[in-house]
């Protein structure tokens, strides 16, 4: 069977492939619609949403933003090092990317624990229902992203990583960053 080599210089071929970008678009639409519904519902009881938001730890949210943005930078550096055929450095930066993701999950776990201890679970009110659903769905994406990066790390060690794999992994990881960059200000600062 003859295979066709992908033309990566073709402007119509997005990094990671078209199916991944359809998935990313659908994920962003899903989060966007959920946030719009939350904002619309917040108009019914703005005082409740405002007072509930004040129970969120903006310091934790800001630290998590720094962790994800930094890990996104390290992921971009991983891709760059890979394209330079420097697999050892690519592996190093991929490890830093995963550390950033793990630190995000640790801080988020502490924040979740504090919310539960203070009685702000999903059933506390409609704001916290949205908070738990949106951030929980995001946490699932970060966990999936870390699993993807772990597989990427193993293939990178064996120097059997394909360009599509590293670019798809990077695109998914950056999607997690982008979703958080929308969630953090909306949940922690604006509502």
Can you give the three-state secondary structure of 137-188, one letter per residue?
HHHHHHHHHHHHHHHHHHHHHCCCCCHHHHHHHHHHHHHHHHHHHHHHHHHH
Superfamily the domain 18-190 falls into: Cytochrome c oxidase, subunit III, four-helix bundle (1.20.120.80)
Mean pLDDT, the chain, rounded, equals: 92
Report helix, strand or coil for 8.
coil
pLDDT, mean of residues 27-54: 95
Query: What pTM value is reported for the model?
Result: 0.89
Domain extents in the chain: 18-190
pLDDT, mean of residues 53-60: 96
């Amino acid at each position: 069977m003859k295979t066709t080599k992908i033309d990566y210089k073709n402007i119509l071929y997005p990094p990671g492939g078209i199916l991944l970008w359809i998935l990313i678009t659908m994920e962003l639409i899903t989060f966007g619609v959920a946030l719009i519904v939350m904002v619309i519902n917040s108009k019914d009881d703005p005082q409740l949403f405002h007072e509930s938001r004040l129970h969120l730890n903006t310091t934790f949210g800001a630290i998590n933003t720094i962790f994800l943005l930094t890990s996104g930078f390290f992921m971009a550096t991983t891709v760059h090092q890979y394209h330079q055929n420097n697999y050892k450095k690519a592996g190093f930066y991929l490890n830093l990317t995963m550390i950033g993701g793990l630190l995000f999950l640790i801080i988020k776990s502490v924040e979740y624990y504090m919310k539960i201890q203070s009685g702000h679970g999903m059933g506390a009110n409609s704001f916290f229902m949205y908070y738990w659903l949106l951030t929980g769905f995001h946490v699932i994406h970060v966990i999936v992203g870390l699993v993807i990066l772990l597989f990427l790390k193993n293939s990178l060690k064996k120097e059997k990583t394909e360009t599509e794999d590293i670019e798809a992994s990077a695109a998914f990881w950056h999607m997690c960053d982008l979703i958080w960059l929308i969630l953090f200000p909306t949940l922690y600062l604006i509502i």
